[in-house]
Amino acid sequence: MERALVIGASGGIGKALVNALVARDIAVTPLSRGKDGLDVTVPSSVKTHLEDLSGPFDLVFVATGALELNGQGPEKTLKNLDADTMLAQFKLNCVGPSLVLKEAARLLPRDRPAIFAALSARVGSIGDNHLGGWYSYRTAKAALNQMIRGGAIELRRTHKQSICVALHPGTVATPLTAKYAGGRETHTPDAAAQDLLSVLDGLRPEDTGLFFDWAGKPVPW
């Protein structure tokens, strides 16, 4: 039986991913802050929760992240920049997934295809940024994308069939994102989870280190 590890399993997308994987008869190990006390922004918490896990996992999916932290939403202009808010965004949206990626070499099998995936966001694309604003969230996700790119290169040296990718789930209808959706089309968490797993189904080792949206289309860095 295939095995999957889902980090952030109590969030909207994370919970939907767990359900979708279980429906595929995949053995899922779900971890989250709400249910398990795993705080991905704290290195000791990541180490404590992951060091005792017995791999290998065919899929490690990091579904953590947030657009709004401590009541602070995305900045509209440079004058709204706040150092503490920016650091908090980096801790959650870049450092957290990076700490999990650090464990991937131990958690993923070396003798067959396996996937490490992390939720990113199209607004983290430097090439696709035409509006500006949202500085802390954008730059944190851009930094995550760089980690995924670099991590994919290193993993490939020891895990020849590994696939390490960043994924944009689209605008998902959760309470946290409701006031930022604007007029954009939204997806339910269940639909987003199915779309993301379909993208993963179509990936090959040569796709490692890339950034894809929910429809499987490449997103520019």
pLDDT tens digit sequence for 76-126: 999 999 999 999 999 999 999 999 999 988 999 999 999 999 999 999 999
pLDDT of residue 151: 97
Could you give the percent of the chain with pLDDT greater than 90?
A: 86
**Coil, helix or strand at residue 118:** strand
In a domain, 21, yes or no: yes
In a domain, 118, yes or no: yes
In a domain, 151, yes or no: yes
Which residue matches tokens 């966001």?
121
pLDDT digits (tens, 9 = 90+) for 18-29: 999 999 999 999
Q: How far is C-alpha 108 from the chain's CA centre?
A: 16
Q: Residue 185, class by beta-carbon neighbours within 10 Å (0-12 exposed, 13-18 middle, 19+ buried)?
A: exposed
pLDDT level of residue 72 (50, 70, 90 thresholds): confident
In a domain, 220, yes or no: no
pLDDT digits (tens, 9 = 90+) for 112-167: 999 999 999 999 999 999 999 999 999 999 999 999 999 999 999 999 999 999 99
Q: Please tell me the distance from the alpha carbon of residue 170 to that of residue 172, in angstroms, as a whole number.
A: 6
The answer to whether the pTM exceeds 0.85 is yes
Question: What residue numbers bound the domain in which 49 lies?
Answer: 3-213
The domain tally of the chain equals 1
In a domain, 219, yes or no: no
> Which residues are bridge partners to 50 per DSSP?
none
Look up the CATH number of the domain holding residue 119: 3.40.50.720
pLDDT level of residue 56 (50, 70, 90 thresholds): very high
In a domain, 69, yes or no: yes
pLDDT level of residue 52 (50, 70, 90 thresholds): confident
> Computed from CA positions of residues 40, 45, 49, 51, in that sequence, does the dihedral angle turn out positive or negative?
positive
Question: Average pLDDT of 59-82?
Answer: 92
pLDDT of residue 55: 83
Instruction: Please indicate whether residue 175 or residue 67 has the higher confidence score (pLDDT).
Output: 67
Residue 175 has pLDDT above 80, yes or no: no
In a domain, 221, yes or no: no
Q: Are 156 and 208 in contact (CB under 8 A)?
A: yes
